[in-house]
Amino acid sequence: MIHSRTKIIALISISLFLVSLAAFGGVTYLLKKHKSTLEQERIALADAEMQKKSLQDLLSIVESSGEEREKMRGYILDDERIIDLLTLIGTLSKEQGAIYSTSNLVVSPIDDTFETLAFTVSIEGSFEKIMRVLSILEALPQQSIISEVLFTKTVEKESASNEWQGTIDIQVTKYKSI
Amino acid sequence: MINLLPPKGHTSLKHEYVLRVISLYGFMLAIVFISGTILLIPTYVLVSSQLNSVRPDDDEGEATKKTFAEASLHIQNANTVMAQLRSITPNVQTSSIITDIIRLAPKGITFHTFQAKREANFLKAIDVQGFAETRNALAALKNAIESSSTFLSASVPISDLARETNLPFVMTISLNEAGSTE
């Protein structure tokens, strides 16, 4: 027959042992988990620091290249500047003394961002004048290409007259209309 | 030593003794684990505070992501524009080709038509029409063009060479692939 006090003491002892074991195990587990998380966070932090540095480099590139990018962007025509371009061509042609008109304005897509504005410039004047107009059109401040040129003498072909008429087909790249 | 206890009492005492020893060990181990737990608490607090300090700030992360996306968009746009600008590069200016042809023309040649059409942004040939005072002048024009490094060939239909003088002609002048001008 075991004494009842001994039984109580044994019960308390075992309970205390189990509780302390659970507490110790729990704290050890949590500590291990936190340490592992801390290591991962430190690695992530180091990566983030590197990415921050890369971002700073990228931002400095973006900032330093802003002027060039804007200039480059300007080589492509946008909707607001179509009229300016046509006016410029007209003004330059008139300055050269050539009679000028524009026709056949057609817009065709290139891709998701750009499209082509094609039009025909008709000019009349001396050969030198229409050649100067052609040279000017070849040097437009926007990306453009002279797709077709047709220069024809207007009067009797054997004569010494220097009156010519020309049609110049131009394709100007523009941003797609929004 | 004389054992005055009856056998049953002896067994009972032995069980009680073992139980008390086990209880003692239980208490000792509990004290060890409790001490261990208490000692681990400062370490736990330290690690937790370190963890809190290295955890990224969500707002800052979002702002960084946004900045990165904006910067990337700028660069991407610049690349798109650059690719487009590089995609159309005329091999040669039409005006310089016409000027070259006129420069190469000998005396006795007059032109009345120039026609140049690009294929896929490349000017490969130009058609000219005109009059030659003599067949020799036309032949000289053909030779001069073919001798030029700008041009590859100049072809004239044989029918245009029938007359001796005042020959109307049509000439197709092919450009060198490089399209370089003299």
| pLDDT one-digit tens code per residue, B111-169 | 999 999 998 888 999 999 999 999 899 999 999 999 999 999 999 888 877 788 888 99
- Min CA distance, A170 vs chain B (Å)? 11
- Min CA distance, B21 vs chain A (Å)? 9
Token pair recorded at residue A80 = 């607001």
> Cβ of B77: how many Cβ atoms within 10 Å?
14
Mean pLDDT, chain B, rounded, equals: 88
Question: Are B81 and A138 inside 8 Å of each other by CB?
Answer: no
> Where would I find the H helices in chain B?
7-54, 58-87, 94-104, 135-147
| Best mutation target, B11, B94, B110, to test chain A (most A CBs within 10 A) | B94
Average pLDDT over residues A156-164: 70
Residue pLDDT, tens place only, B90-123: 778 999 999 999 999 999 999 999 999 998 888 9
Token pair recorded at residue B28 = 């000792």
Question: Are A2 and B16 inside 8 Å of each other by CB?
Answer: yes
Position B100 scores a pLDDT of 93
Beta strands B122-134 and B165-175, pairing class: antiparallel
- Min CA distance, B146 vs chain A (Å)? 22
Q: How far apart are CA A130 and CA A112, in angstroms?
A: 36
Token pair recorded at residue A30 = 């949590």
* Terminal CA-CA length for chain B: 132
- Min CA distance, B45 vs chain A (Å)? 9
Whether the predicted pLDDT of A169 surpasses 60: yes
Q: Calculate what percentage of chain A has a pLDDT beyond 90.
A: 47
Q: How far apart are CA B68 and CA B66, in angstroms?
A: 5
Whether the predicted pLDDT of A137 surpasses 60: yes
Residues 163-182 of B with CB under 8 A from A: 166, 168
Whether the predicted pLDDT of B181 surpasses 50: no
Q: How confident is the model at residue B178 (pLDDT cuts 50, 70, 90)?
A: low
Position B165 scores a pLDDT of 86
Confirm if A74 and A171 have CB atoms less than 8 A apart. no
Question: Are B95 and A135 inside 8 Å of each other by CB?
Answer: yes
Number of A/B CB contacts below 8 angstroms equals: 176
Q: Which residue from B84, B101, B176, B122 is spatially nearest to A147, judged by alpha carbons?
A: B122
Q: Which residues contact A55 (CB under 8 A, 6 or more apart)?
A: B64, B67, B68, B71
Name the pTM for this structure. Answer: 0.71
Question: Are B67 and A55 inside 8 Å of each other by CB?
Answer: yes
> Cβ of A155: how many Cβ atoms within 10 Å?
12
Helix axes A127-138, B94-104, angle to 10 degrees: 140
Residue B38 contacts A, CB cutoff 8 Å: no
Q: How confident is the model at residue A156 (pLDDT cuts 50, 70, 90)?
A: low
One-letter identity of residue B96: S
Question: Are A145 and B50 inside 8 Å of each other by CB?
Answer: no
Confirm if B128 and B101 have CB atoms less than 8 A apart. yes
Mean pLDDT, chain A, rounded, equals: 89
Average pLDDT over residues B28-51: 93
Q: How far apart are CA A49 and CA A140, in angstroms?
A: 47
Residue B46 contacts A, CB cutoff 8 Å: no
Residues 82-111 of B with CB under 8 A from A: 82, 84-85, 88, 90, 93-95, 98-99, 110-111
Residue A107 contacts B, CB cutoff 8 Å: no
Average pLDDT over residues A128-137: 91
Q: Measured between alpha carbons, how far is residue B138 from residues A22, B141, B144, B172 in Å?
A: 110, 5, 10, 13
Residue pLDDT, tens place only, A17-51: 999 999 999 999 999 999 999 999 899 888 888 98
Nearest residue, CB atoms, B85 vs list A2, A27, A75: A75
Average pLDDT over residues B60-84: 88
Whether the predicted pLDDT of B1 surpasses 80: no
Whether the predicted pLDDT of A136 surpasses 50: yes
| CA closest to A160 among chain B residues | B110
Q: How confident is the model at residue B19 (pLDDT cuts 50, 70, 90)?
A: very high
Helix axes B58-87, A4-64, angle to 10 degrees: 30
ipTM of the complex: 0.71
Confirm if B113 and A151 have CB atoms less than 8 A apart. yes
| Best mutation target, A7, A16, A32, to test chain B (most B CBs within 10 A) | A16
Residue pLDDT, tens place only, A72-103: 888 999 888 888 888 888 888 888 888 888 88
Token pair recorded at residue B49 = 């505070």
